[in-house]
Amino acid sequence: MLRCVVIDDESLAREVLEGYLNRVDFVGSIRQFGNARDALDYLKSHEADVLFLDIEMPEMNGIEFLKTLPQPPLTVFTTAYRDYAFEGFELGVIDFLLKPIAYPRFWLAIEKIRDFLALKEQNARLEDRPADGPLGAVFVKSGVQRIKLQFEEVTYIQGLKDYAIIHTDTRKIVLKGSIKAMQDIFPPSHFVRVHKSFIVAVSRVARIERNRLVINQNQIPIGRNYKEEVEKLFVQKR
């Protein structure tokens, strides 16, 4: 049962999110705060699983607030400003909801949180021993299962907190480990780091849109420090 905290200086925005959360059967508790400082005091002595965090707030904004937390819960940014999405990924947020928030889009964020937490509990890990395949492969050990993961299956990898989420066309695998550790495993001839929190399979990129890549309708941000290298790579491949 998820313990959720909603932080937003607009009372209507808080009420909308609380109403949505009350419709989720695996949400156990909901706490509302109209400012970041009261929420910070609460979190010093209480645990939370998920934060729904507004960005534009007086005194302390959501970005400043998140940076003060030594071990922040899974965080969903809620804001009327689209430009904050990329900064959110830099801070390791799991999703970004643009106001006004429609229930179907909110539910996608809830599913993403549920899937991440469920997959994390499987305690999967990559084995060191390589496996055969056109581009190579590795075995993923999850409980008593050993699953062969072909590198050509992978579309992109996202770093989130102390975990890496490997995305394929049909499934997701959550592994304990950093995005840097994944970069050392996946062949650099076919995978490229495009952001502090993302590695993509070069062949699976459908298009580039300003400061993002699109893979299977998923928008992958291009980090400022990677932009020049990414543009050179994809221009050369056209």
Query: Residues 109, 9: one domain?
Result: yes
Name the DSSP class of 238. -
Average pLDDT over residues 140-144: 77
Q: What is the pLDDT of residues 30-66, one digit of tens each?
A: 999 999 999 999 999 999 999 999 998 988 999 999 9
The amino acid sitting at 196 is K
Same structural domain, 13 and 112: yes
Omega before 134 within 30 of 0, i.e. cis:
no
Segments forming the whole domain that contains residue 67:
2-120
Same domain for 93 and 181? no
Strand positions, DSSP E, the chain:
2-7, 27-33, 50-54, 74-79, 95-98, 125-131, 137-142, 145-150, 154-160, 163-168, 172-176, 191-195, 198-201, 207-209, 212-215, 218-221
pLDDT at 122: 77
Query: Do residues 187 and 135 lie in contact, with contact meaning Cβ atoms separated by under 8 Å?
Result: yes
Domain count, the chain: 2
Decide: pTM greater than 0.75: yes
Claim to verify: residue 176 and residue 92 sit in the same structural domain: no
The arithmetic mean of pLDDT across residues 69-96, rounded, is 82
Q: Domain check: are 74 and 184 in the same one?
A: no
Say if residue 46 is in the same domain as residue 105.
yes
204 and 158 assigned to the same domain = yes
Task: Please indicate, yes or no, whether residues 158 and 116 belong to a single structural domain of this protein.
Answer: no
Contact 179, 164 (CB under 8 A): yes
Q: Are residues 114 and 174 in the same domain?
A: no
14 lies in some domain: yes
Same domain, 168 and 75: no
pLDDT tens digits along 153-194: 999 999 988 889 999 999 999 988 888 889 888 988 899 999
Q: Give the integer Cα–Cα distance in Å for 149 and 168.
A: 10
Distance separating alpha carbons of residues 34 and 39, to the nearest angstrom: 8
